[in-house]
Amino acid sequence: MPNTSFSEIIQTRSGEPLHTCYFCQKCTAGCPVAYAMDYKPAQVVRLILLGRRDTLLRSNAPWLCVGCDTCGARCPNDIYLAPVMDVLKEMALEAGLAPAEKKVYALHQSFLDSIKLWGRTHELSMLMEYKLRAVDLFTDLDLGLRLMLKGKIALLPERVKDLERVRALYRRVGR
């Protein structure tokens, strides 16, 4: 089996041409969450090209990326980092590493479980699952309560009739 480098794997899986990066750092300058990241977007690109796999799979940057695409819209070489960050998250999970932002992972996982269960998201059961997964029972309880009082969180889920087709899409990717 050919020894494919870390950066090649990421470029293939994400489809983003990282090798064309000028390191102009516009991505970092425009990223709304860069301030909270341990490695900033342009640094992530550089670390990928340097093959720093272990550093990146433990970084919180991929988990904090919200996919706003500001980086890509402003990149002189049309490199979008959200798909790159998504590949890094997938690779961290594939490697069996604990997600660097456990609550972020807990929310995404609860969201996907909700779709698999009902075909649509059901906030109430999804948030309960999230609270248990994140071991965070009390944050924002007041907000949740006020949302319910305003009729903005439904008690009962809306269940898709042809759920089998939705689940077939999950089975296809081994979920």
Interacting residue ranges for another protein, rule: CB under 8 A? 13, 32-33, 35-36, 64, 66-70, 72-73, 78, 80, 82-83, 86-87, 89-90, 93, 101, 103-109, 111-112, 114-115, 119-121, 123, 127, 130, 134, 139-140, 143, 146-147, 150-154, 158, 160-162, 165-166, 168-170, 172-173, 175
Nearer to another protein by Cβ, of 50 and 169: the residue is 169
Query: In angstroms, what is the minimal distance from the CB of 24 to another protein?
Result: 17
Structure tokens that stand for 12 in this block: 């293939």
Query: In angstroms, what is the minimal distance from the CB of 8 to another protein?
Result: 17
Query: In angstroms, what is the minimal distance from the CB of 110 to another protein?
Result: 8
Nearer to another protein by Cβ, of 24 and 50: the residue is 24
Structure tokens that stand for 65 in this block: 């990326």
For residue 102, the number of C-alpha atoms closer than 13 Å in the C-beta half-sphere is 7
Residue 97: left if φ>0, alpha if ψ -120 to 50, beta else—which one? beta
Structure tokens that stand for 132 in this block: 């248990």
User: CA 33 to CA 72: how far, in whole Å?
Assistant: 15
Nearer to another protein by Cβ, of 19 and 146: the residue is 146
User: CA 19 to CA 90: how far, in whole Å?
Assistant: 21
User: What's the burial of 3, exposed, middle or buried (CB within 10 Å: 0-12/13-18/19+)?
Assistant: exposed
Nearer to another protein by Cβ, of 42 and 104: the residue is 104
